């Protein structure tokens, strides 16, 4: 995942997925890497289709555009 990628929020938890029904898709504005308990983790700042901007854990984001 990179800045500028088009992403959608994906989760197996129905309530989480429902909250993003009107937000998808979004554009990655920034990538944030951080360490927690010795593990490298990542998140992204996303500008959603509804105009909101949130920070999301990268495991919930799926890139929907393919680079050629």
Per-residue pLDDT of the chain in tens (68 residues, 90 and over written 9): 899 999 999 988 888 788 888 899 999 999 988 766 767 678 999 999 999 999 999 999 999 965 55
Is 53 domain-assigned?
yes
Is 1 domain-assigned?
no
Report d(CA 61, CA 31) in Å as an integer. 12
Peptide linkage before 25 cis (omega within 30 of 0): yes
Domain that includes residue 36, residue range: 6-63
Which pLDDT value is given to residue 67? 57
Q: Report pTM.
A: 0.81
Is 27 domain-assigned?
yes
Number of domains, the chain: 1
Is 68 domain-assigned?
no
Is 32 domain-assigned?
yes
Which pLDDT value is given to residue 66? 59
């Amino acid at each position: 995942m990179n800045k500028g990628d088009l992403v959608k929020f994906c989760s197996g938890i129905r309530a989480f997925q429902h909250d993003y029904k009107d937000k998808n898709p979004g554009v990655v504005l920034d990538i944030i890497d951080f360490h927690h308990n010795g593990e490298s983790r990542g998140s992204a700042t996303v500008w959603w289709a509804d105009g909101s901007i949130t920070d999301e854990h990268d495991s919930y984001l799926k890139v929907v555009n393919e680079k050629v």
